[in-house]
Structure 1
Amino acid sequence: MYAEVGHEFRYDSKGGKGPDKWGSLDPAWRACSTGKMQSRNYVASHSVLQNTGHNIMLKWESGAGSIVLSGTEYQLQQIHWHSPSEHVLKGIRYNMEAHLVHKSRDGKVAVISILYKFGQPDPFLASLENHLKAVTDKTGAETVVGVTNPMSIHMESPGFYRYIGSLTTPPCTENVIWTILTQVRTVSREQEDLIRIAANDESGTNARPLQPLNGRLVTLSKLR
C-alpha cells in the first residue's frame, strides 16, 4: 500500500529511515512499529499514471467502479506495484505484487493483491509500457493515460486468502481488508525493472519486510 508523495522514508537502512524506523519518523506512522494487524462492478474511467517516488501508481480520478464486502461498498481508486512481493504464499516470495486499493465512503480500506513471477509479459502492464517509460525514473512525474478499464487486469483465480492487516507503507494504518488471489500471474523482467526503478533509494526494492501474523486469522476461500 501507499504513502503520500513527498513523505520521506526508505526501504533500506540508510539515514535512519528504514522499515524498522518508520514508526518513529512521524507520529501518524506509529502503527508501523506498534501495530498488530498489519462481487466486483468495475467500469472504465479516466486515469493518470504517477511515480510517487516509492512506487508506480495508476489512479482513477473519479473511481473505477466498486466491490462489496460484508455489505459495504468500496470504490476502486488506484493500482500500484511492489517488487518483490509483500506477501508470501507457502514460503515463496514472488517477484512482484499489485495492489488494487479500494475505499468506502467512511474511509475504510480494502485491497486486492495479485502476485507475479517472472515469465511472459503482463498484458495490462504492456498496455501501459510507453507511459511507464515516461515516469519510471522521475519522482513526482505524471502522465495522462486516458480511459482505462480495470477489467483488463487479469484477476481470475481459483481462490483467495483474506485477513485483516494494515497499509504496507507509512502511516501503516490498520483494519485494512486484504484479499490475496491464489492465482500467480507472470510479468517480464523488463516490466519489473520499470516498476522497481521508481523506488527513490538504493535498496533495489519497494517492498516492506515481512511482518509477523501476531495471532491474526488468515482464511482460504476456494472458488472452484
Structure 2
Amino acid sequence: MENLARQVLICCLLTTLLVLLPCPVMSREVEDESEFNYDINSEKGPLHWGEIKPEWSICNSGSMQSPIDLLNKRVQIVTHLGTLQLNYQPSNATLRNRGHDIQLEWLEGTSYLQVNGTQYVLKQFHWHSPSEHTIHGRRFDLELHMVHETPSGETAVIGILYKAGKPDPLLSLLTNELEGVSDRMAGAETAVGAMDPRMVKIGTSTTHYYRYIGSLTVPPCDQNVSWTILRQVRSVSREQIRLLRVAVHDESNSNARPLQPVNKRLVQFNKPTQYQY
C-alpha cells in the first residue's frame, strides 16, 4: 500500500508540473472571420474587437498593436540588419476565402525566412485593401502579408505595399481560382497546385525595409510579431484588387484595420550606406 501511495503521489506531482509548465503561444490568425468585421460603426468593428471575446481583449488593450504609420521622424536608420534571408521553394497551395480576406496557404513547409538566427516557415499569404501600414501618412491600394511561423508559434510577417498600375504576376496566375471562390460562400477553398512564392518578385527590396515588433492585424491580435515592411512599392491592377474584394462577400469596401499607436516602440529602417533615402 505504501508503494502504491508513493506512485499515486508521484503521478499527481508530475501532472501538476505539466499543467504549470508554460506552453508556447500559437500566434495564429482567426480562420473563421464571421465574428468580426471592418465597419467602424459596427459593434463587431475594429474599435470593439477586444470586447467580442475575452481572448481578443489585447486588440483593445495591447501597447504593441499593428498596423502603424512609418513616419520619418519616428524611424531609426540602421545599416546592420542586413539582407532578408529568404529560402523560398515551390509548394502545393490552397486558395481559401476566409470571410474578410483571401488566403493562399502553403501546404508543405518548404519555404522559410530567417530572422536573427531564427527560422520561420512560410505558412500563408493574404491581402488587405487598401493597405494597412502607411508611409508618412500615405495609404496604398493593397498590402500583401506573407506570414511565417516557428514550430513554437513565433510569428514573422513580411508586408508588401502596392499601388494601382500593372498587374501583379502572382495574382495573374490565380485569376481563375479567385473568380471561382467568388461564386462560393466564405470558407470555400480550392487547390491551386504547385505555386512558387518567388513569383512575388521581391528583388532588391530585401535590403531596404522597415522593421518593428507589432501584432497580428486581425483577432486575436497576438503581439510580439516581427514585422518587416518592404520600402519598394509594387504594382497591382485595379481589376486584381476588385477580384480580391468581390471574392470575400463581406459587403465592405475595405479590410484594413485602422492605424494603431506606435507608443515607445523602436521602428528601424535598414538602409545600405550607398542607398539614398
Could you say which residue in structure 2 is the equivalent of 1:95? 141
After TM superposition, the score normalised by the length of structure 2 is: 0.77
Greater C-alpha radius of gyration: 2
**Structure 1's 97 and 60: CA in aligned 2 closer, same or farther, altered over 3 A?**
same
Check whether the contact 2:92–2:108 (CA below 8 A) recurs between aligned residues.
yes
- Aligned to 1:86, the other structure's residue is in SS state coil
Check whether the contact 1:47–1:147 (CA below 8 A) recurs between aligned residues.
yes
Alignment of 1:4-83 (within 5 A): 4-38=31-65, 39-83=85-129
Q: Aligned partner of 2:43: which letter?
A: G
Check whether the contact 2:112–2:120 (CA below 8 A) recurs between aligned residues.
yes
Q: Aligned partner of 2:101: which letter?
A: N
Could you say which residue in structure 2 is the equivalent of 1:142? 189
**Structure 1's 200 and 216: CA in aligned 2 closer, same or farther, altered over 3 A?**
farther
Could you say which residue in structure 2 is the equivalent of 1:3? 30
User: Which stretch shows the higher mean deviation, 133-142 or 193-202?
Assistant: 193-202
- Aligned to 2:47, the other structure's residue is in SS state helix
CA shift for structure 1 position 128 = 0.8
- Aligned to 1:134, the other structure's residue is in SS state helix
CA distance in structure 2 between the partners assigned to 1:203 and 1:6 by the alignment: 13
Check whether the contact 2:34–2:99 (CA below 8 A) recurs between aligned residues.
no
Question: Pick from 241, 248, 251: which aligns with 1:202?
Answer: 251
Alignment of 1:153-192 (within 5 A): 153-156=200-203, 157=205, 159-192=208-241
CA distance in structure 1 between the partners assigned to 2:237 and 2:133 by the alignment: 19
Unaligned runs of 5+ residues in structure 1 are: none
CA shift for structure 1 position 134 = 0.7
Identity of aligned residues (%): 51
After TM superposition, the score normalised by the length of structure 1 is: 0.95
Deviations 1:92-148 (A, max 9, x none): 100000000000111100000000000001111001111111113531111110001
Q: Aligned partner of 2:187: which letter?
A: G
Structure 1 segments of 4+ aligned residues over 6 angstroms from their partners: none
Check whether the contact 1:199–1:206 (CA below 8 A) recurs between aligned residues.
no
Question: Pick from 210, 220, 223: which aligns with 2:269?
Answer: 220
